[in-house]
Amino acid sequence: MRNVIIIGLLLLSVSAIWAQSEPAIKLDQLAEIGAGNSYITFPTDIGNLEPLWFEGNVKPNFMIRQSKNARLMGVLTPQIIIRMYQEASYPVRTPSYIPHISVYYRLYGEESNSLTLRGKIGHHSNGQDEAFYLPDGSINRKSGNFATNYFELGLFKTRYSRFFNAHQIIQSSFEVHPKGWMMGEIDDNYGRYRWKIALNIFKLYDNETKPQDKAPFSVKSELTWLFGKLDNVDNVNLDRLIAKLTLYYHPSFFEEIGFFVQLYHGRDYYNIYFDHDLNVVRFGIMTEKLSF
């Protein structure tokens, strides 16, 4: 599965060579793409993820700006991820609380060929306060404390792809978890430095005047490389790679939601489960104001 994901992401990246000028992508639209989407998965995962009834990602965005044409904008996002396990009484254990605030500044570009800078400060915890380790030395998954804080700096390059007849955004950013901002128990096994790249391919549409322009399919590919101490993993090792490919279908009978399938390889993003290595195919429904 790892090879399938990596090959798919590389093929998508080739599209960057086809480009032409089109109307600009608004800053609030760019921010929503950068923040990601809310979703709920179905209990049909294929892979090594523990059996779930669902995983839910709630990700509202609160825009802070002077006007719709402003080059500078802040975004407050109180993100929460929960997993309901297929166990007795359907437990929801250690939700991920990931509030973050981002600042976007468009450096140049009135057309779709633009460059935007983003700065971000975030927090990730699980709302627990007991010891990280159990007496036998294993990690306390059910009630152990997990917390880290981070900052991220990145760029968004927008362009129009003739090959896909759609907009595309290429993202690149670097995320840092300073040593004093995180729990000492996870310092040597979390990957404090993270380089991220992503390719979004979507079609802008006006839901009121041109609903027929809504693209039925869209795609997003993401790669993350973990730097720093990572248990006993060598500095050059594919175990440091996180790869995600999301394919999205928006049926005409729904206004703002659609179905997605996602291939995921790499370390788990769910708080205290961070040292799990996942290889999974997932299905679910996703909200989208843009068809990217």
- Helical (H) or strand (E) element with 217: strand 217-227
Instruction: Encode burial over 89-120: b for 16+ CB neighbours within 10 A, e otherwise.
Output: eeeebbbbbbebbbebebeebeebbbebebeb
For the beta carbon of residue 179, count every other beta carbon within 10 angstroms. 10
| CATH, residue 49 | 2.40.230.10
Per-residue pLDDT of the chain (292 residues; tens, 9 = 90+): 555 445 454 444 444 333 344 556 778 878 888 878 899 999 999 999 999 999 999 988 898 887 777 889 999 999 999 999 998 888 888 999 999 999 999 988 765 678 999 999 999 999 998 999 999 889 999 889 999 999 999 999 988 776 766 778 899 999 999 988 999 899 888 999 999 999 888 765 544 444 445 557 788 899 999 998 888 888 888 889 999 999 988 887 777 788 999 999 999 999 999 989 999 999 999 886 543 3
Structure tokens at 174: 């670097």
Q: Which domain holds residue 204?
A: 2-287
CB of 84 closer than 8 Å to CB of 52? yes
In a domain, 63, yes or no: yes
Tens-place pLDDT, residues 251-274: 877 777 889 999 999 999 999 999
In a domain, 96, yes or no: yes
Q: How many domains does the chain have?
A: 1
Separation CA 8–CA 195 (nearest Å): 19
**Sequence-separated (6 or more) residues with CB below 8 Å from residue 168:** 15, 16, 158, 159, 160, 161, 199, 200, 201, 202
CB of 118 closer than 8 Å to CB of 107? no
Phi, psi of 197 (to 5 degrees): -130, 145
In a domain, 292, yes or no: no
Tens-place pLDDT, residues 137-156: 899 998 899 999 999 999 99
Sign of CA dihedral 84, 90, 94, 99: positive
In a domain, 147, yes or no: yes
Separation CA 204–CA 42 (nearest Å): 28
Structure tokens at 106: 């468009």
In a domain, 29, yes or no: yes
In a domain, 247, yes or no: yes
In a domain, 172, yes or no: yes
Question: Quick one: DSSP state of residue 227?
Answer: E
Which residues are bridge partners to 192 per DSSP? none
Structure tokens at 235: 């500095």
In a domain, 119, yes or no: yes
